Amino acid sequence: MSASNSRVVVITGGAGQLGRAVESAFAQTGSRRVVIDVDEAALHAAYPIESADRLLTSADLTDTESVEKAIAVAVNKFGTVDVLCNIAGGFYYGEPVHQMKMDVWRRMMDLNAVTMINAVGVVVPLMISGGKGTIINVGAAAHTHGQACMSAYAAAKGAVMRLTESMAAELRKEDIGVFCVMPEIMDTPANRTNMPAADTSSWTPPSAIAEVMVLLSQDAAIIMTGGLFPVSGKPRVSRDVT
């Protein structure tokens, strides 16, 4: 895995399994990382060792002013933002559409779409000023169409996918690439606990998804801007050739 070093990468939802994997993957490229999460205690528990090239900052991504403050701290420390990884989100399984409470609809849209909109609202002007940038969003491969009793989540992830395509069309002239990775089931301790009888052979480790996100952040990926990329299964195992 390779990418130009010294870039500044903002990672939202950074205390979660995927957020931590993405932070680690970009650290290996020499990038400076700004890790954001709404839960400050969880954030510091996930990254107990201080690092000069990593900034931890808490923010409520559903609140525009909170996002502005967090990015201002990042810019004060590192100067700009080159890559934005919108990982923050939430899941809900419950009632059918006709029984869904309005607060559930709003909560799913807030966690999955509004968090992303608020982040790009602050970061994109910095990227335009810098002459280029990369935005990587997280969708859901299973929710390119509706699912029973998961309508609010499916609709919110659908919004993320359509917003990705719209932003790509709007920002291509600014040399800003916008992409969406769409995991199926991630191989995390929580998913294994919640689905103990499931066949995990096709589950994808967060580290593999993180490597794909690093690849999409490279300059060459701009020709794929607007792409929605399903990510599933295990990564290929390297074999020595003798």
Condensed to tens digits (0 to 9), the pLDDT of residues 112-150 reads 999 999 999 999 999 999 999 999 999 988 767 788 888
Q: What is the pLDDT of residue 239?
A: 62
At residue 72's C-alpha, the angle toward residues 212 and 52, to 5°, is 65
Token digits of residue 110: 């807030």
Q: Which domains does the chain have, with CATH numbers?
A: 8-88+114-144+160-229 (3.40.50.720)
What are the start-end ranges of the E strands in the chain?
Answer: 8-12, 32-37, 54-58, 83-86, 133-138, 176-183, 228-231
**Inter-residue contact 185 to 202 (CB < 8 Å):** yes
Q: What SS3 class is residue 53?
A: coil
Q: Which residue has the higher pLDDT, 100 or 171?
A: 171
At residue 191's C-alpha, the angle toward residues 92 and 155, to 5°, is 25
Interhelix angle 151-171/115-130, rounded to 10 degrees, is: 10
Q: What mean pLDDT value characterizes the chain?
A: 92
Q: What SS3 class is residue 178?
A: strand
Instruction: Collect all residues with Cβ–Cβ distance below 8 Å to 96 and sequence separation of at least 6.
Output: 148, 149, 151
Q: Which of 27-41, 115-129, 134-148, 153-167 shows the lowest per-residue confidence on average (mean pLDDT)?
A: 134-148
- How much of the chain exceeds pLDDT 90, in percent? 75
pTM, entire model = 0.92
**Inter-residue contact 164 to 137 (CB < 8 Å):** yes
